[in-house]
Amino acid sequence: MAQLVGPLRKELADSLSSCRVLVVGAGGIGCELLKNLVLTGFKNIEVIDLDTIDVSNLNRQFLFQKKHVGKSKAQVAKESVLRFCPSANITAYHDSIMNPDYNVEFFRNFQLVMNALDNRAARNHVNRMCLAADIPLIESGTAGYLGQVTVIKKGQTECYECQPKPTQKTFPGCTIRNTPSEPIHCIVWAKYLFNQLFGEEDADQEVSPDTADPEVAWNPADAAARATASNKDGDIKRVSTKEWARSTGYDPVKLFNKVQLFKDDIMYLLTMDKLWKKRKAPLPLDWTEIHQLESSQEEAFGTGLKDQQVLGVQGYAQLFHRSVETLRSQLIEKGEGAELVWDKDDPPAMDFVTAAANLRMNVFSMNMKSRFDVKSMAGNIIPAIATTNAVIAGLIVLEALKTLNSDFDQCRTVNLQCCSFHVGVIGLVQILTLAVFAFDCLRNVFPVIGPSVQVSMKTTSVSNNNKFLSDFGIRNGSRLQADDFLQDYTLLVNLIHSEELEKDVEFEVVGDAPDKAPVSSVPEEGKNIANGNKDSAQPSTSSKAAAEDDDVLIVDSDEEPSSSTMETSLESSNRKRKHHDADTDDAASKRKRLDQQPADDDEDIIALD
């Protein structure tokens, strides 16, 4: 007869009390998860979160109270849990999981990692670290009434990045600048305007009319002509929005009348008559005219939230005026060369976007939106409640119990070969050259005959390429994709920067080679070139230098946060790159062969979109 400890069989209860788990995130899911873990019997828990507590968290992050607003989530969560379970052994980190201090060795301390995150960059990162450390990961997420839980275990299930994830929606520049048709276009425009006026100017965030819009021209040749013209003119005549604003002393009325805010630039847009053949034309607003109109009855406060009111044009014009003045003061206070960063929770910044977006909506005959609605869209707010998080966190723990029992077939994910093969440490991306990377490093997995590289759509020859990986924008955490010419096999390589390799070691390979050997029509010849891979030797190259084995490396840039010091040390299976002399003739002869290859190697590159 089984022995029970509470609801659990004794063996399970015992294994729980000795196991160590990591919870990444102490927010909506994290609070519920910590509570479930300790009540279930987990004793050793580490929790990490970089965030502090906000009042809007309190409707669901129940370990926090109003008095904790501003404090570290991880820290307060730990303290709250200890109050009902003092015997729990909890370590809290007020830090980002992407900090290189949390290296593979750190992850290897745990039997299980559970994500409770709200952004893709961190999820990708934890995914890669768990794969590198070979620790099971339970991934989860919630939004509104929906949520999901997935178990990720290297070699048993897909990883988080095996399936492509939809990227955030973006809008074409001409829609934002010339022909907005939905409130979101006006809101995006207003945020761009904020940056142009008060923040970091970005060439991709232009707010003025776009003369290069292909729709503007009556014939294509005209469009091309306009495009070149505007580029030329731009350098000479056009003054940046910010400089112009400064020159007027950020006069709200001048801003209003000029910057597409609502008069001059609108009138300029109107001259692009083709745009308005099939669309309703924008109606410019003039500051003085607005205020001469009888003030329209503002909608009664009524029973809604103050923020849910929709004002009239005058109301938003006034809001615009007030917010510009406040933001101007903020800029002055910050001093010379200051820049403001837009934040939905900063009232004047939010007021500015509300006002500017609504005025633009009015110009383009759209129904205006309340501050409440604008804030949702501008701030990408995801509605959230306690119950969804409670359910998901409950499911996470149930999956955790199965995982610890190694019941992967009971887990919810599909068994697929994972996408990733890791090249673990690339010591110092500033030092490793492209040539060495392509020839020596990748050769461990893949015979590389005449690789060429496509970096941001530009093809670069690899032979004798002494440019450093970092010159191509490759950095810690970058992911590269290698395809063989026949697109038969795709290899995803995660690069992790390290400064802690042994002397003379330029890189280390972590992880298993892929099962499938690339297609090769040449017989095995000469020396085994594999550098200590577990797998059997890859066929070496032959003098035939078959064109079909060309590889293309594509640099895939990830959204990495701006804060990242470039240090990660990895402990991997000890594979060292042999010294050149040890590699002997094979390397030398191969290189020689390749040097002789014609430059039209490049023709064999597979085009990227």
Partner 1 sequence: LALALSRPRGEDNIISEEEAAQYDRQIRLWGLDAQKRLRGSRVLLVGLRGLGAEVAKNLILAGVKGLTLLDHEQVTEESRRAQFLIPVDADGQNQAQASLERAQLLNPMVEVKVDTDAVESKPDDFFFQFDAVCLTRCSKDLMVRVDQLCASRNIKVFCGDVYGYHGYMFSDLGQEHHYVEEKPKVVKGSNEANDGPEAKKGKVDPNETTMVKKTISFCSLKEALEVDWTNEKAKSSLKRTPADYFLLQVLLKFRTDKGRDPQPDSFAEDSQLFLQIRDDVLETMGLSSELLPNTFVSYCFSEMAPVCAVVGGVLGQELVKALSQRDAPHRNFFFFDGLKGSGVVDYFGSK
Residue 395 in the binding site for partner 1 (CB under 8 A): yes
Contacts of residues 168-177 at CB distance under 8 Å and 24 or more positions apart, as own/partner, are: 173/204, 173/206, 173/210, 174/210, 174/213, 174/214, 174/215, 176/207, 177/206, 177/207, 177/208, 177/209, 177/210, 177/213, 177/260
Q: Which of 26, 29, 30, 40 binds partner 1 (CB under 8 A)?
A: 40
388 makes contact with partner 1 (CB under 8 A): yes
6 touches partner 1 by CB under 8 A? yes
Determine, following the binding rule CB under 8 A, whether residue 12 of this chain makes contact with partner 1: no
H helices present in 415-517, as ranges: 434-436
Member of 161, 399, 484, 601 binding partner 1 (CB under 8 A): 399
The continuous run of DSSP H or E covering 21 comes out as: strand 20-24
User: Given the rule CB under 8 A, which of 97-105, 298-306, 327-335, 477-485 is the region that contacts partner 1?
Assistant: 298-306
Stretch touching partner 1 by CB under 8 A, among 1-9, 237-245, 455-463, 507-515 = 1-9
CB 433 within 8 A of CB 465: yes
8 A C-beta contact, residue 83 and residue 546: no
Q: How far apart are CA 38 and CA 183, in angstroms?
A: 46
Among 165, 237, 306, 458, binds partner 1 (CB under 8 A): 306
**CA-CA distances (angstroms) from residue 149 to 138, 380, 383?**
7, 23, 19
Among 25, 180, 183, 451, binds partner 1 (CB under 8 A): 183
Taking CB under 8 A as the criterion, the residue among 303, 380, 466, 563 binding partner 1 is 303
Q: Quick one: which of 95, 182, 325, 548 contacts partner 1 (CB under 8 A)? A: 182
Q: How far is the CB of 400 from partner 1 (least distance, A)?
A: 9
Applying CB under 8 A, the site for partner 1 has a residue count of 63
- Answer yes or no whether residue 173 interacts with partner 1 by CB under 8 A: no
159 assigned binding-site residue: yes
CA dist 452 and 590 (Å) reads 15
Long-range contacts, 218-227 (Cβ 8 Å, 24+)? 218/274
What is the bridge-based pairing of β-strands 137-143 and 458-461? unpaired
Task: Report if residue 15 touches partner 1, rule: CB under 8 A.
Answer: no
- Smallest distance, Å, CB 498 to partner 1? 38
Number of residues assigned to the chain = 609
Instruction: Give the count of alpha carbons within 13 A of 376, CB side only.
Output: 10
Closest contact distance (angstroms) between CB of 277 and partner 1 is: 7
* CA-derived radius of gyration, the chain: 29
Whether 515 has a binding-site annotation, put simply, is: no
Q: Strand ranges (DSSP E) for 451-550?
A: 452-455, 458-461, 479-484, 490-498
Q: How far is CA 164 from CA 160, 161, 299, 448, 560, in A?
A: 9, 6, 46, 27, 17
Q: What type of residue sits at position 573?
A: S
Residue 321, CA distances (Å) to 140, 254, 296, 326, 328 in order: 44, 10, 18, 9, 11
Task: Write 184-188 long-range contacts (CB < 8 A, 24+).
Answer: 184/377, 186/356, 186/357, 186/358, 186/360, 186/361, 186/364, 186/366, 187/353, 187/357, 187/374, 187/377, 187/378
Cβ closest to partner 1, residue 177 vs residue 443: 177
Rounded to the nearest whole angstrom, what is the least distance from the CB of residue 61 to partner 1 in the complex? Answer: 9
CB of 223 to partner 1, least distance (A): 21
Known active-site residue 186 = no
Judged by CB under 8 A, which stretch of 217-225, 227-235, 300-308, 529-537 contacts partner 1?
300-308
Binding flag, residue 300, partner 1 (CB under 8 A): no
**Candidates 2-10, 127-135, 327-335, 542-550; binding stretch for partner 1 (CB under 8 A):** 2-10
Strand partners of residue 52:
72
- The one catalytic residue among 174, 186, 411, 441: 174
Q: How far, in Å, CA of 570 to CA of 498, rounded?
A: 7
The verdict on whether residue 501 carries a ligand-binding annotation is: no
Q: Of residues 165, 278, 458, 503, which one binds partner 1 by CB under 8 A?
A: 278
Q: Pick the binder of partner 1 from 412, 544, 579, 580 (CB under 8 A).
A: 412
390: left (phi over 0), alpha (psi -120 to 50) or beta: alpha
Identify the DSSP state of 303: T
Question: Residue 433's beta-bridge partner residues?
Answer: 468
- Give residues 424-483 in contact with partner 1 (rule: CB under 8 A): none
96 is in an annotated binding site: yes
The H or E element containing residue 193 is helix 183-198
Q: Which residue has the tokens 């788990």?
A: 21
Shorter beta-carbon distance to partner 1: residue 255 or 272 = 272
Calculate helix-pair angle for 313-334, 183-198, nearest 10 degrees: 30
Question: Which residue among 383, 457, 503, 598 contacts partner 1 (CB under 8 A)?
Answer: 383
Judged by CB under 8 A, the chain residues 47 through 86 that form the site for partner 1 are 55-56, 58-60, 62, 65-66, 83-86
* Site membership for partner 1, residue 582 (CB under 8 A): no
* Residue 299 binding partner 1, by CB under 8 A: no
Q: What's the min distance (Å) between Cβ of 28 and partner 1?
A: 9
**What CA–CA distance (Å, rounded) separates 477 from 497?**
7
73 is in an annotated binding site: yes
Q: Is 25 annotated as a binding residue?
A: yes
- The reply on whether position 14 binds partner 1 by CB under 8 A is no
- Cβ proximity to partner 1: between 367 and 574 the closer is 367
Residue with tokens 């003039």: 286
Q: How far is the CB of 215 from partner 1 (least distance, A)?
A: 13
Q: In angstroms, give the least distance from the CB of 520 to partner 1.
A: 45
The amino acid occupying position 224 is A
Q: Which of 97, 384, 426, 428 binds partner 1 (CB under 8 A)?
A: 384
- Establish if 2 lies at the interface with partner 1 (CB under 8 A): yes
Q: Which stretch binds partner 1 (CB under 8 A): 232-240, 391-399, 424-432, 441-449?
A: 391-399
Binding string, 115-154, against partner 1, x = CB under 8 A? -----------------------------xx---------
Residue in the structure block whose two tokens are 């790159």: 577
Binding site for partner 1 (CB under 8 A): 1-9, 32, 35-36, 39-40, 55-56, 58-60, 62, 65-66, 83-86, 144-145, 181-183, 277-281, 303-308, 372, 376, 381-391, 393-399, 412
Catalytic residues: 174
User: Which residue ranges are tagged as binding site for Zn(2+)?
Assistant: 159, 162, 418-419
User: Which residue ranges are tagged as binding site for ATP?
Assistant: 25-30, 49, 57-60, 73, 96-97, 118-123
User: Which residue ranges are tagged as binding site?
Assistant: 25-30, 49, 57-60, 73, 96-97, 118-123, 159, 162, 418-419
